[in-house]
Amino acid sequence: MRHSCISFLSISLFLLTACSGEKGSHDQVSTVSIDKGVEHFDADYTSAQYQSLFKNPKTIRLETNDKCLLSANAYLLNVTPKYIVIGDKTSFYFFNAENGSFLSVMDRKGNGPEEYADIFSRFFDEEKELIYVATPNKTKLYKPDGTFVSEYPKDSISNFIGVSNGYWGTYKREYQKSHLVAFFDKDWNMKQSFFPFDAESVTGFSGGYIVPRFRDGNDQVCIVINDTLYASRKEKLIPAVAINQGKLKMPTDLNGDLERMLTEGKYCIKAENALLVNDLLFYDFFWNESRHYTLWDTNSGELLIHSEKGYAMPYNEKAIVNTPVSLIRNNKAYTLLSIDKLAQYGLANEEDDSNPTLLCVDLGN
């Protein structure tokens, strides 16, 4: 339990990389110095500073019919100039990015050679227009209409994430039980691999976005930031976020505080989501059975928002909704709003059983 808590806390250090020149205990990782405690509060959403963050709201109602009914667990996988890609259980739904009309569904669950019985990870390649599904034994490729394309490799990739010039993944060779973290080019040729405890083997690549963390088979926390993969080392973890006595603290080094909190049985937080755009870090986490939403200025280290309601985003010229940020692409923030959510603000009839609405806003940073 102790190592699990520390591992979860350690990832937020990596989320703050490449933001300043100050170095932390990992020589390769730049960190932001945030060393002040902040009282818990709900942000003043009427301030000009906050309202300048989200601009030009646009909503797209996803088509509803018998072929594309989404559950309450549906999530936003990607938004491209052509597609809105929604994941729901073992299915992937494609909607028109301009008007939300339903295009196709991909669901190949089964036990055949072209099907998948379980999903470890998934990724939509915008350039190739392919869904990559990591299963327990193979990574399988499908077209948006569900057509099976191919599979790779003979060995197992249990987790993977796409970057600008290839894929980072957790790789298990057939003849060896241990897991490696490996980098593959766009043609799935392995370019480098290393044991996950060997953080010094990580090589950086250029890029401009952040993708979620993943865990390898040895329960090692790995994360990709700006196309660079970082792996934490269990004997040298640096937690970066903790809650203590109602205060949010984000210093660069909380080892002493963490040890004391664990000894005293205090809560540790579990990072849920982090999105970095320009100088803003959207950081969501669970603590004490509730979800917290924070927004940080990575230059100054200033906490701009801390709320349990979500980020207040404009829905139109008059209405504002509190919601998580599901995806950031090209300086735009996206979120899926269910009918129940919209009904809370008088923007929909709660008896309506339509699919969610996609909200897109420009990030005016």
Cα separation of 337 and 328, whole Å?
16
Find, among 64, 59, 91, the residue nearest to 77 by Cα. Answer: 91
CA-based nearest residue to 217, from 154, 161, 172: 172
Number of domains in the chain: 1
The answer to whether the CB of 170 falls within 8 A of the CB of 157 is yes
**pTM (predicted TM-score):** 0.71
pLDDT of residue 176: 59
Rg (CA), the chain: 21
Please report the pLDDT score of residue 110 as a whole number: 92
**Structural domain for 123, as ranges:** 2-363
Q: CATH number, domain at 155? A: 2.130.10
CB neighbours of 8 closer than 8 A, spacing ≥ 6? Answer: 221, 268, 269, 270, 271
Which residue in 187, 220, 190, 224 sits closest to 204, CA to CA? 224
Pairing of strands 228-231, 242-244: unpaired
The pLDDT, as a whole number, for residue 214 is: 56
pLDDT of residue 116: 92
SS3 14: helix
- What per-residue confidence (pLDDT) applies to 46? 61
Could you give the CA distance from residue 134 to residue 118 in angstroms, rounded to a whole number?
8
Phi, psi of 11 (to 5 degrees): -70, -30
Q: What is the largest CA-CA distance in the chain?
A: 61
pLDDT at res. 184: 83
For 222-234, give one letter per residue: b (16+ CB within 10 A) or e.
bbbbbbbbbbbbe
pLDDT of the residue at 102 = 98
Cis peptide before 136 (omega within 30 of 0): no
In this predicted structure, what is the pLDDT of residue 68? Answer: 95
Please report, in tens digits, the pLDDT of each residue of the chain (365 residues total): 333 333 333 333 333 333 322 222 333 333 333 333 333 334 455 666 667 788 899 999 999 999 999 998 899 999 999 999 999 989 999 999 999 999 999 999 998 999 998 887 888 888 889 998 888 778 899 999 999 999 887 666 767 777 778 887 777 666 556 667 778 888 878 887 766 544 444 443 333 333 345 555 555 556 565 566 655 544 333 334 444 444 444 433 334 444 454 455 554 445 566 666 766 777 776 666 677 787 776 666 566 777 788 888 899 988 989 998 888 888 888 999 999 999 999 999 988 999 999 999 998 75
289: phi > 0 → left, psi -120 to 50 → alpha, else beta; which?
left
DSSP 8-state secondary structure symbol assigned to residue 341: H
Residue 215 Cα distances to 151, 169, 179, 238, angstroms: 22, 10, 11, 17
Residue 262, H or E segment: helix 255-263
- For position 247, what pLDDT does the model report? 42
Note whether 116 and 108 are within 8 A (CB): yes
Long-range CB contacts (within 8 A, 24+) of 150-157? 152/188, 153/188, 157/182
